[in-house]
Structure 1
């Protein structure tokens, strides 16, 4: 059997600080869906590893991501929570197609360019040099990714890997959020990714899921063709308790994809599972070495959401059960690894895919050496 990462790699605050700088702060990090900023002028504040980022859509429809920091004196530009604390409205933020700092009134375009410096003599400020600090921003399948360090970011297409090819038949951009659930999990983000990447645990932990996918009980699913998708039991077409639903299949699916389930893991923080009628997208928000917030979005085709009486409960409730089962065992792993006697774990031959996280970390250690 292969050894896992060292236990300290999941527990040590110093290792977490390295990860913040060299992984989460440099890689392409999934932060939203395009539907969150749907129209020109719409915006969203996002906290990423202690950095507050302003995601905006400009008049031409292009997305931009800026550090939410004025170039003049460093004031936070959008800060509704601070205004609310003091019972004020300081008239700052994104207003009428302009990003305005409430402190001294410096104003920026939605693309981050400095537009106005009230009271300053013409030519006193080099406006071209003092635009908002940018983040890199890219999109795929309706997902929005940013990088906090665009000057050293890896290639975006390389970061996506094989996901665009494998999921090419799914109408990802036409999916919309039907419901979102948040989970606070007392476990390292890598523990959660490793758990997602194997099904050795499915038999003991997910009996309801195994009723829908009996093949998970056969050699932990290692005989399955994961790229072709996971077959359901006879008569089942989706991840609900019954394995059925009244929703239509996604348009464009192959006959196999109509009765199979596919999953993708896009490092470092997007887990994505697709049925024939809905998808579950998991955005991981690491918050220290031993805590991860998980944003679980349930995505449906926009045509289904428009139907009278649309109800996502059959998928949401089934996934919520499976999720809670996963998070519970992940927390057990995190606590167990803190024992004095635990130095590392092992990957059995049935957990081969979990080795991906070990290789992923090793490559970034080499890059930062």
Structure 2
């Protein structure tokens, strides 16, 4: 009597989904313009009047903190003639510094002097008082949705139709509930320009089938990654390190104290979360590595990797983050190199699709994520 039938091979998304401008154009409109995108940390705009310009899939967004301390986001475009309000890089290209942007608690357009509150309301429009149908209340800056979790700032380019934010976070708040994410601060950021599709990078993050061949140093810290690609592990509890190791460094050890509030298991394990579409978050007992993915084209992604540490540790004399940063940088470069190999390989004219092994079950998430958004009706 034969046993149960073996499962069939699972196909990846079609290769065109990773390599064509048409696929990327669809994703910009249906994913990055409509979903909650992780864009910053609250610490980036710490005080009232602080601001930051962020590019979200080609759209320039102005993130500001109001006098009351609330974060607001607006499209970086004046309602008068459409000038970009903050564009210091372009001014510098001409050897200029035009008098516009966020100045003295106002958002002022340098073109004709229209001025807005930090909340986005039009306050001043020179020489418009005599226009009969001029209505300031109808000419606020175009809004961008803002939501916060764990010190991260999420933006939504279509706030009137934004999906539920709690649903977008899925299980991350519960699984990482003991980690003091809001109290962490960015010690160092490394930007990587990766010649690979953003979905390939997410798929790579979501499996460890590749860890044995690609990450020998990581497998010294986490030997379980060599066994069945880690698929036997209880990811809910976190990834165990080798005996005596507690964190992601070359030695698996550090002089930093574990975060306050962790369980005994969390003090010696590692957890990872993928929050679609663009946040990969890996958390050890003493630090976190946050990866913000910024797709630039079908075959190019900028990855903003932030290394986060607790403020109490940062304040200690002799604080040094290099043990974690250097180890992560090595592992990251290994990942980006192999993702670029995949991008180049699937660009071959004969490649129609790939396959998932049984060890890549989590990689199937990207297929479901894309399919769900293809099925949603347009607003």
Q: Shorter-chain TM-score: which interval? A: over 0.9
Write the mapping of 1:49-60 to structure 2, written as runs, cut at 5 A: 49-60=57-68
1:331 aligned to 317, 334, 340, which one?
340
Structure 1 unaligned regions, length at least 5: none
Shift of 1:266: 0.1
Mapped pair 1:256 → 2:259: no
Cα deviations by residue, 1:50-100 (Å, 9 ceiling, x for unpaired): 111100000111101101100001111111112212222221000010000
List aligned pairs for 1:1-369, cutoff 5 A. Answer: 1-121=9-129, 124=132, 125-368=134-377
CA–CA distance in 2 between the matches of 1:182 and 1:349? Answer: 33
* Alpha-carbon distance in 1 for matches of 2:87, 2:200: 33
TM-score, length-normalised on structure 2?
Answer: 0.96
Poorly superposed stretches of 4+, deviation over 4 Å: none
Secondary structure of the structure 2 residue equivalent to 1:287: strand
Counterpart CA distance in 2 for 1:123 and 1:63 is 33
The TM-score, its normalising length taken from structure 1, stands at 0.99
CA distance in 2, matches of 1:82, 1:348: 48
**Other structure's SS at 2:376 match:** helix
**CA deviation digits over 1:134-173, x for unaligned, max 9?**
1101010000000111112111110000000000000000
Give the SS at the match of 1:271: strand
- Residue aligning to 2:6: none
Q: Deviations over 1:86-134 (max 9, x none)?
A: 2222210000100001111110000000001112226742111100001
What is the aligned length?
369
Unpaired runs of 5+ in structure 2? Answer: 1-8
Q: Is the contact made by 1:114 and 1:128 (CA closer than 8 Å) also made in structure 2?
A: yes
Contact 1:22 1:368 (C-alpha < 8 Å) held by counterparts:
no
